[in-house]
Chains A and B, each alone.
Chain A
């Protein structure tokens, strides 16, 4: 059945476009058809044939279905670039939508919805209305999807013309495919609207469950995905639903299986009977295992999901660990995921077999996989106390193979094992020391040095070993320097003899006078002072008992895990990130830009009007701004020019976007200096985190007070509580001596989150081509994280307040803060996204209620109590994350002062 279309790609010598034009206007049908094919061929290889618009559209009125499809395809591609001419096609569209042939009716409606030109959209409404009630299900199913298309272009129009109701009616359609497409369209519309549009009632539920048995496999996926949002009233209803869905686990389409698993897991939350739950777990295991026989890409998605499922319900696959053993020909990305799951499923019962596998993998070729296998052995040792000894003996066997990266990886994990089981396995230290010379990776070196320092009293030649590292101290990476410093101090405290005493002199000197690294210098000074003032106190600090570490293989936070499980089969479950962490809503950017104007005007940012105007027309329709949560609200009608603007923005990639933001750099209050010129060899950096238009930026100013031009600036952020990281390249031009430059670096959240209690430390490294890397610490102002959607309705506020337990309430007094005027204070707080809800008087005190929200939707409910004009404000808050309270108070205090 092969075709010979390739002949249409060939070109002639004569100018191609004029020749095509001629052929398109030929009086012979066949010639016109061939010409259109040539046009499409040219379009396919990326040539611009938009100048033939009128000529191609003239071929649209034809009985030939194939030709019609080609012209329609052309329209989809070029209507946007010729919006005025596109109107020429409308008549034929409207006519085709009433053609006796359902294929043509559907084609017309399907294509019109793909032409994102406002003028056409208006004409789409009548044909669409008709087609939604068409006799032929093929036309109705196409029309259902078209409503979603129209909503994407012009949401208001859809609501005004009553298409939403028509779509809801289609849920009761007698054709299962129509039902499925209506569900898909409604679910999508609901996604981009804040109002409840598509609510599944018990009535629609039973309709959808019936349609599930009859529609195509893809339709089943739509329905299952929509139903997984349904909250059953009670355990009995949940059980009934699950019963209707379990047969889908036998479907050959793995997307159907995964969506069914998602739905069952959701309903299981409500089911109380342990028997039923156990039975369901038993039923889900075989289909999950079978997914591992699918194509490797599907296996990968399945494995990422299984990783989540076993965290929530470890029993499901507890006995199936063998199916995750790697096959020789598995792609590396599948092997990596299998390894991760094996660690999660490892138990005292199966550990011997698992270790044998890991050992096998540790001798494979792929270096990353080998490293991961070695690390896996260590993680099992930390997780399973009784197996730790066996794990260590496998690690020692691997060290004996003397493959460099295996040895280094083994040492890194052994350090963790020592942390987990102190004073248990020190007998192996001698073996480890044999490999000392081969270590060249910082992490491995640092680990080995830590081991030597920690067990200095048991290693006879600990001082010699450390000394061998000391020679190269200045060249070592910071990680190793820090460990060397601490290890030498430990050695000295444990063996205060002459040798270590000399060593400590050398190290402290190196780490204070000779270094530019503030972390190292600070730590060295602290040790120095401790040692010189009170050596006993130094012992208490440096040799203090360390908190026990635990296995991190179940690392996902329970609330995040639940969110990811409700997103099984989707990208979110593959990335293990909540959808808002990676989705950008480009469509609704128009809205954001409108707000941008408003914000700048009302709240008096110091942007010059010119700067604002510029950011309005150049493409800061950046993905970064579009992440703004407010962008989730329904789009206002897009201005005609906007789509082109966006395309431009996307093609220009990130750098253009960031540089476009530059003119908006602040001219207002000076930024705090974070790196003074005295420590930056003449480079001075001032910086502060700011919030602009719903987005966090790092506002920075660079001043070059040195004698040389500086260029090639780059920036990096260390792990921090909120996972703040650069959302683009740092755009700083070459700085000639005596000049300065300002920039706004867009920041993204939740990239590299540091564990542990929340804090406001932001560690930054900046480098350029001429100087060493500069490190400095900055502070995260918590209130820059307050999102624009933090406003709460009074009733929601009350409900939320009541629903949170009293243990979540925290309060603090700010004795020196004064509120002089309620209105001005409220205005100021509102400009930082703390929203006023209500106030009341209590004796002579004023009580204010406010709300704020930080990303991931964590709300803060705030009560401020004060006597106007008198110092002393009491702040009480309630929040689901009380651990954030100290940070929050700090922010409030700052805001009240400013």
Chain B
């Protein structure tokens, strides 16, 4: 199963080809345009087909970014996972180069786009997608003069994500631990799923080739080292590492050791299912008085400790699409009716732990309803929030050791924050 694609296409919203790179000469742009415009015409099909289609011997794999479709076409049994993931990486690389990837920026930079497509993929095989290193030898016009005439060692090195000779006057590392809470409550008010997707986002401004070692309060590691698990140790369901982390070493003794890329990157992401109480809980009651009036009361409660505070809380409560004349009161924050979202959006700037707030809303409904109207889409109540200095998992960075042959000292700055991810309560 050769993993390769025949050609890459960047298409506009109408399916016209903006720029393409043909790697194998067996799929033409006309063919792709014809197929894709047809697909776009019956718009539902784009969703029901999914991102992979087959027609007349050609396989199409595509993703969308802003007003651009990125499409790989092949005539073999290609590795779909690899190619789709590659397309997302192409977006990242272009974003690194042009700030934003859209029709405009492609046109303005077509020379570099061609150069990058040539370097990132050869004969349809993904080759190299480290934006930072690519920009050392492929540059846009403004920086053209500084072009490095040799491929950076990193392109073929075992350490393919970092060039040698990086220098900073002040060596600093920032670590942000960001946790997203995904929550699903069903219509019985039963908590069905509660999981945390966390990420250790690192910004490394370090000179030379620093060897780093990260210590977490990971239960498996602490027990393996035979240390008493003083304080809280945590169990993670799954961990994914940036390619700089030595996976075999981690498998052996749970040590997280790596030479970081320069600048910002996601060192690791992790996932765990939690049994803890939902951080913000909402109860909602809807009363329909006759056919023309609906009244709802919503109670939001913060279920974390008082010393923490949730900020930028936004609770979106769905209302019938034909509701009118809203009348809304809240005990805290302010709420507005957003007809374009068929919802009341309730914003609370600061929501300390262990508090209750209320919202009451009243709407008029049209008294005449046509028989054929389809049932309302039942949207869940959705909540957004941030809680700084707090993690649900209790993960802690115990240490980050940095060893470089020049012997400098660098201390990591660590921050923790928890945010709502897909936080859905199907209560109404």
Contact = CB atoms under 8 A, between A and B. Distances in A.
Interface of A: 1-6, 8-9, 37, 40-41, 44, 46, 65-66, 69-70, 73, 76-77, 80, 101-103, 106, 110, 113-114, 116, 136-138, 141-142, 145-146, 148-149, 152, 175-178, 181, 184, 187-188, 191, 213-218, 221-222, 225, 244, 246-248, 250-255, 257-259, 286-287, 289-290, 293, 295-298, 300-302, 305, 322-323, 325, 327-329, 331-334, 336-337, 353, 356-357, 360, 363-365, 368, 401, 403, 567, 569-575, 579, 582-587, 623, 626, 643, 646-647, 650-651, 653-654
Given A110-B118, A222-B3, A571-B80, A363 B108 contact: no
A502 to B, nearest CB: 37
B242 interface: yes
* A interface, over-half SS: helix
Size class of the contact patch on chain B: 35 or more
Contacts of B142: 1, 3
Given A188-B2, A218-B86, A259-B81, 8 more contacts: A1-B135, A3-B112, A142-B122, A222-B125, A297-B84, A360-B426, A401-B375, A574-B52
A312 to B, nearest CB: 18
B247 A46 contact: no
Interface of B: 1-4, 17-19, 22-31, 34, 47-52, 54, 56-57, 59, 61-63, 74-82, 84-88, 97-99, 104-105, 107-112, 114-115, 118, 122-123, 125-129, 135, 137, 139-144, 147, 149-151, 155-156, 158, 160, 184, 186-188, 192-193, 195, 197, 237-243, 245-248, 250-251, 266, 268-269, 271, 374-375, 377-380, 382, 422, 424, 426
17 contacts: A1-B99, A177-B160, A184-B4, A214-B158, A216-B127, A216-B243, A251-B247, A289-B237, A298-B85, A298-B88, A325-B184, A569-B80, A569-B82, A570-B1, A570-B79, A571-B78, A574-B80
A106 B1 CA distance: 26
Contacts of B48: 332-333, 336, 368
Given A4-B141, A251-B241, A572-B77, A328 B109 contact: no
B158 A116 contact: no
A191 B110 CA distance: 35
Nearest to A359: B187
Contacts of B51: 296-297, 300-301, 333
Given A328-B382, A365-B374, A184 B2 contact: yes
A216 B128 contact: yes
Nearest to B155: A138
A300 B54 contact: no
Contact of A113 (B3, B111, B123, B379): B123
A3 B108 contact: yes
A297 B70 CA distance: 12
Nearest to B31: A650
A146 B125 CA distance: 11
Contacts of A328: 379-380, 382, 422, 424
Given A3-B141, A175-B156, A221-B82, A587 B109 contact: no
A254 B248 contact: no
Contact of B115 (A69, A76, A181, A293): A69
B25 A116 contact: yes
A438 to B, nearest CB: 12
Nearest to A296: B51
A145 B118 contact: no
A569 B79 contact: yes
Contacts of A353: 186, 192
A215 B63 CA distance: 27
A129 B241 CA distance: 39
Given A300-B50, A363-B375, A65 B239 contact: no
A323 B141 contact: no
Contact of B151 (A103, A575, A654): A103
Given A2-B140, A290-B271, A325-B192, A569 B23 contact: no
A357 B187 CA distance: 9
A293 B61 CA distance: 20
Given A102-B150, A287-B238, A403-B375, A6 B63 contact: no
Contacts of A569: 79-82
Most buried by A among B123, B160, B246: B123
B253 to A, nearest CB: 12
Nearest to B156: A137
Contact of B63 (A41, A252, A295): A295
Contact of B271 (A258, A286, A300, A653): A286
Contacts of A110: 118, 122
Contact of B186 (A66, A254, A357, A403): A357
A359 to B, nearest CB: 9
Closest 3 CB pairs of A and B: A286-B238, A333-B50, A255-B82
Contact of B193 (A1, A322, A585): A322
Nearest to B6: A586
Contacts of A646: 26
Nearest to A305: B81
Contacts of B238: 286-287, 289-290
A336 B377 CA distance: 17
Contacts of A102: 150-151
Contact of A587 (B26, B87, B127, B240): B26
Nearest to B26: A586
A322 B374 contact: no
Contacts of B26: 586-587, 646
B125 A145 contact: yes
B237 A286 contact: yes
A323 B193 contact: yes
B321 to A, nearest CB: 11
Contact of B240 (A152, A252, A334, A579): A252
A221 B380 CA distance: 39
A217 B89 CA distance: 12
Most buried by A among B57, B61, B144, B422: B57
Contacts of A570: 1, 3, 77-80
B197 A293 contact: yes
A5 B84 contact: no
Contacts of A114: 23, 25, 123
B114 A40 contact: yes
Given A218-B127, A571-B78, A584-B57, A3 B271 contact: no
Nearest to B74: A571
A366 to B, nearest CB: 9
Nearest to B240: A252
Contacts of B126: 218, 221
Given A106-B151, A216-B128, A250-B241, A623 B156 contact: no
Contacts of B382: 328
A218 B271 contact: no
B49 A250 contact: no
B28 A184 contact: no
A252 B422 contact: no
Contacts of A255: 79, 81-82, 85-86
A571 B57 contact: no
A643 B240 contact: no
A333 B245 CA distance: 34
Contacts of A336: 48
A101 B149 contact: yes
Contact of A181 (B125, B184, B375): B125
A572 B144 CA distance: 44
B271 A360 contact: no
Nearest to A566: B1
Contacts of A575: 52, 54
Contacts of A146: 123
Contacts of B186: 353, 356-357, 360
Nearest to B30: A651
B182 to A, nearest CB: 8
Contacts of B105: 2
Given A360-B378, A646-B26, A247 B237 contact: no
Contacts of A368: 48
Contacts of A257: 240
